[in-house]
Each structure stands twice: as C-alpha cells, then as structure tokens.
Structure 1
Amino acid sequence: MVPRNRSVRRTKAALQSALVDLLLEQKNIQAVTVQAICDRADISRSTFYLHFENKDEVLSSYLLQMIGRVHDALRAWTGSDDSRWTVYFAHIAHIAPILSSLTSDGGPHAILSRYERQFAVVMQDLVLPGRISNLDHTVSYQAHYFSGGLLSLTWWWVEQDQCATPAQEMSRRYHALCSGHLCP
C-alpha cells in the first residue's frame, strides 16, 4: 500500500510541477493544455485523468498544498504580531509569477474562490488554534473577512506593486489594517 501512495504522490507532484513550469513559460493559464502538462511530466493522458479532472484541478491542488505550507509556518511563528505576515508575503513573492498567470485574463475564479475559502480556515485556526469548526459563526465570519482582505491585498501586491514592496513591509501594512489603522 505504501509504494502505491508514494507513486501517486510522485505522479501528482510531477503534474503540478509541469503545470507550474508551463505557467511560468506561457504566463497564461488559458494557454496551457492538459496535453502540454502530460508531455512535460512525461505522463500519459490516461494517467493524468486518473488523478485530476482538468488542469484547474491540478492548479487548485498545488495552491492548496502551498496554503498548507504557509499555514504551518504561520502557526509556528514566534515573532511579533506585526511581522507574522512576513511569512505569508514572502511565500506570495515566491509564487507571484504563477498567480500573475491566473489574473492576466481574469483567471479561473473558482480556483481563487477556493483559495480564499481555504485561507479562511487558516485564519480561523490562527484565531482559535485547534478549534476549527464551521459551527462557530462568530469566528467564521471574522476569518472570512480577514482572509478576503488578505487575498485582496495579495492581488493588489502581485498585480499593481509587482511584489516590489518587501514582505516585511506588507506584513506591517496588513497588521495595521487589521488593527483598524491606515498606513502610508
């Protein structure tokens, strides 16, 4: 059983990596085809469809995996609150070219919406660690509010600022906004 799971993980990782490489080259999700992903990963189309329904699902799985990594890093953060989000913005700077490829033609909104919903779970866990529950509407609506604001600020940073502002400064700005303060 373990070798099969390992094989599945390797196959999915190869497909994700191929998609990311193609996005970096093409700069547009619409230009990337399933066949191009399969060719780059050296995996047959039938194997592709055993693991994913379409290229959006590959991208979604990649983004969710990245969110998991950021979530782990945010939970482990021991620095000051106003610099906590440096971890997030540093991560975004790393994947900004991929995110830019989603927004160049409007991008697949379903993927972005799923990213926001998943990040709301991360926010909720940061507010009440270990007590993630959809039943707690007070925490849930706040988590969605903050994750929506973070996602909006993220798209501004990627598209308008092109990640020119350092991650530490973006962290400070986000913290200030969450605290109800305007910052230059």
Structure 2
Amino acid sequence: MVSRNRSVRRTKAALQSALVDLLLEHRNLQAVTVQAICDRASISRSTFYLHFENKEEVLSTYLIQMIGRVHDALRAWAGPDDSRWTVYFAHIAHIAPILSSLSDRSGSHAILSRYERQFAVIMQDLLMPGRVTPLEPAVSYQAHYFSGGLLSLTWWWVEQDHCVTPAQEMSRRYHALCSGQLCP
C-alpha cells in the first residue's frame, strides 16, 4: 500500500510539473491540452483521468499545495510583523507567470475562487491560531476582508507592477494597509 501511495504521489507530481512547464511556455491555460500534459509527463491519458478530472483540477491541486507551503511559512514566521508577508510575496513572484495565465480572460474563475477560499482559511488561522477550519462566523468576515485585500493587491502586483516591487516592500505595504495606514 505504501508503494501504491508513493506511485500515486509521483504520478500526480509529474502531471502537475508538466502542466506548470506548459503554462510557463504558453502563458494561457486554454492553450494547454490534457494530451500535451500527458505527453510532457510521459503518462497515458487513461492514467491522467484516474487521478484528475481535467487540467483545471491539476492546476488547482498544485496551487493548493503551494498555498499550504506558504501557510506553514507564515505560521512559522518569527521576524518583524511588517516583513511577515515577504514570504507570501516571494512565493507569488515565483509563480506569477502561472497566475498570469489564470486571468479572467482564460475562464479560470473556479480555480481562483478556490484559491481565495483557501486564503480566507489561512487568514483565519493567522487571526485565531489552531482553529483552521471551518471558518468561524465571528472571524470569517475579517478573514475574508484581509484575504480579499491581499489577493486584490496580489493581482495588482502580478498584472500591473509585474512583480517589480520587491517582496519585502510589498510586505511592508500590506502590513501598513492592514494597520490602517496609508503608505506611498
């Protein structure tokens, strides 16, 4: 059973890696086909469909795993509060080309909605550590407010700023906004 689980993880990772590579080449999720993913991963279409329903699920699973890593890093942060979000913005800079392929033009709203919901859970955990799910009504509105602001700022950074502003500066700006300060 352990080797079967390991094999499943390797197959899923190969498919995710293939999709990410193709997204970096094509810059558009719609331009990537399931067959191209399978060819890049050297995996048959039937094996693909044993693990995923479609390419959107492959990408969604990949992004959720990335969010999990960021969540772990944010929870472990021991530095100053105004630079905590450097971890997040550095991660976004790394995957910005993938996120750019998910603009509304490519019809990937379901993936982005799942990404947003996951960030609301992360925000709740940061507001109330140890109580990750489900979203508590008492802090749900706060979690959604802060995650919505963060994601809106993220899209601005990826699409308008093209991640030119350093992650450390974006962290400082986000912290200032959350603290009710305006910053240049």
Letter of the structure 2 residue corresponding to residue 12 of structure 1 = K
State percent identity of aligned pairs.
Answer: 85
- 1:35 and 2:24 are equivalent in the alignment: no
Residue 161 of structure 1 aligns to a residue whose secondary structure is coil
What is the rounded CA distance, in whole Å, between the counterparts of 2:154 and 2:8 in structure 1? 32
Deviation of 1:152 after TM superposition, in Å, equals: 0.6
CA contact (8 A) 2:34 2:45 kept: yes
Normalising by the residue count of structure 2, what TM-score does the alignment of the two structures yield?
A: 0.97
- 1:161 and 2:161 are equivalent in the alignment: yes
- 1:11 and 2:26 are equivalent in the alignment: no
RMSD (Å) for aligned C-alpha atoms: 1.1
Deviation of 1:134 after TM superposition, in Å, equals: 3.0
CA contact (8 A) 2:30 2:106 kept: no
CA contact (8 A) 2:116 2:147 kept: yes
Equivalent residue runs for 1:125-164 within 5 Å? 125-134=125-134, 136-164=136-164
Q: Which runs of 5+ in 2 are unaligned?
A: none
Q: Which runs of 5+ in 1 are unaligned?
A: none
CA contact (8 A) 1:70 1:87 kept: yes
Which consecutive segments of 4 or more residues in structure 1 shift more than 6 A? none
Q: Which residue of 2 aligns with 1:95?
A: 95
Letter of the structure 2 residue corresponding to residue 101 of structure 1 = S
Residue 160 of structure 2 aligns to a residue whose secondary structure is helix
Normalising by the residue count of structure 1, what TM-score does the alignment of the two structures yield?
A: 0.97
Residues 134 and 97 (structure 1), Cα distance of their counterparts in 2 relative to 1, 3 Å cut: same
Residue 102 of structure 1 aligns to a residue whose secondary structure is coil
Q: Which residue of 2 aligns with 1:182?
A: 182
Q: Which residue of 1 aligns with 2:121?
A: 121
Deviation of 1:140 after TM superposition, in Å, equals: 1.3
Query: What is the count of residue pairs matched by the alignment?
Result: 184
Residue 163 of structure 1 aligns to a residue whose secondary structure is coil
Deviation of 1:136 after TM superposition, in Å, equals: 2.3
Letter of the structure 2 residue corresponding to residue 71 of structure 1 = H
Residue 91 of structure 1 aligns to a residue whose secondary structure is helix
